[in-house]
Amino acid sequence: MLALCAIVAVASPQFLSVVNLQNVGRLVGTYGIFSIGVGFVIITGGIDLSVGSICALLGVLLSMMLVDWNWPPAVALAAVVALGGAFGAVHGLLITRLGLQPFIVTLCGLLLYRGAARYIADDSTKGFGTGTGFEWARALASGSVAGVPMPFVMMCIVAAIAWVLLHRSVYGRHLFAVGHNPEAARYSGVGTRTVVAWAYVLSGALAAVSAVVLAFYTNSISPASHGNFYELYAIAAAVVGGCSLRGGEGTVLGIVLGAALLQVLRNLVNLLDIPGSLDFAVMGAVILIGAVADQLFGRRMRRAGA
């Protein structure tokens, strides 16, 4: 990761400019937050494809709550995060209680929330315009502290909490146990279904936090494309960061670095005047090369190089 930054910095001195770093930091923060949530789900051996659509739907709702319905911003923010958590809870319950496959449940979520967002917004772009009364909320989501963009700060806070949760708490241990061997975990008295369901709740809630940040930052939410492919960024970040899609493996630090790597790559495409249309292709190629190298040279490389 550091090596990549160094390469980029050498190739394009612009990378180190304050504006560019702030920009990258904001993106890393936004993507990092929901990637952590998806990472939790991936550690259970599941997958969450719905985060992009949740971002879109909640972004639309947030703008309507603040601008159209004049809700107090505190209430609106709480409602958005609660809704995200609720969506996750529904996924989690469908998966653990009815035994549906995570891919299918969250794929339906992806379609449902996207459709709902477009319908509610009449397929028109939403924003906050010059609305007033929620300046502090806007500052919280898109301002900066001592030059560090808020999303990055928030990601650091989220990551710190997630790190304690995943690597130091009873819940985190249970999460790994379920991901590695759900049978043995169940035989050991771990409430496997509850543990898995909560991972989806976390993923939904963190997607909601990202939705708030993203909505204020872009200030224009076109429901058909807002948050498109975010679920894939999140999965890619988690996998690049050392999560196994088979479950049971992953670290918060890895996921964050994975998310950062992807954004730096995009930035590189931008700065090096590689045609923007190629940015997905570059990302795909880098991830693929990484996965192949990992397979060939073993785990150790990944841990050292993450």
Partner 1 sequence: MSAISKRFPGVVALDRVDLEVAAGEIVGLVGENGAGKSTLMKILAGVHRADGGVVAIDGEPAVFREPADAARLGIAVIHQELELVDTLDAAGNVFLGREPHRGGPLRLLDRRRMEADTGRQLARIGAQIPPRTILRRLSTAQQQLVAIARALSMNARLLVLDEPTARLGASDAARLHAVLRDLQATGAAIVYISHRLREIEALADRAAVLRDGRNAGVLPRGEITRDRLVQLMVGRAIASNPEPRPRASAGVGPEATRPGAAPRLQVDRVRTGRYPAIEVSLTAHAGEVLGIAGLIGAGRSELAEAICGVGSRQAGRILLDGEALAIHSARDAIRAGICLVPEDRRRRGVIGAMSVRENLTLPALGTYARFGVVKRAAEARAADEIARALTVKASSIDAAVATLSGGNQQKVVLGKWLALGPRAIIFDEPTQGVDVGAKAEIHRLVRRLADDGAAVVMISSDMDEIVAESDRVAVMHHGRITGILARAACTPESIMRLAVA
The contact set with partner 1 (CB under 8 A) reads 164, 168-171, 173-174, 176-177, 180-181, 183-191, 248-249
Matching residue, tokens 């319908």: 119
Decide: 115 and 89 in contact? Cβ < 8 Å. no
Which positions ≥6 away from 209 have C-beta within 8 Å? 33, 34, 81, 84, 154, 158
Whose Cβ is closer to partner 1: residue 249's or residue 294's?
249
Task: State the angle between helix axes of 51-63 and 73-97 in degrees (0 to 180), rounded to the nearest 10.
Answer: 150
Nearest distance from C-beta of residue 198 to partner 1, angstroms:
12
Whose Cβ is closer to partner 1: residue 189's or residue 275's?
189
Tokens standing for residue 213: 């940040």
Whose Cβ is closer to partner 1: residue 73's or residue 242's?
242
Matching residue, tokens 């379609």: 111
Cα 289 from Cα 275, distance rounded (Å): 21
Nearest distance from C-beta of residue 177 to partner 1, angstroms:
6
Nearest distance from C-beta of residue 296 to partner 1, angstroms:
21
Whose Cβ is closer to partner 1: residue 4's or residue 163's?
163
Whose Cβ is closer to partner 1: residue 40's or residue 71's?
40
Say whether 149 sits in a helix, a strand or coil: strand
Nearest distance from C-beta of residue 244 to partner 1, angstroms:
10
Nearest distance from C-beta of residue 43 to partner 1, angstroms:
12
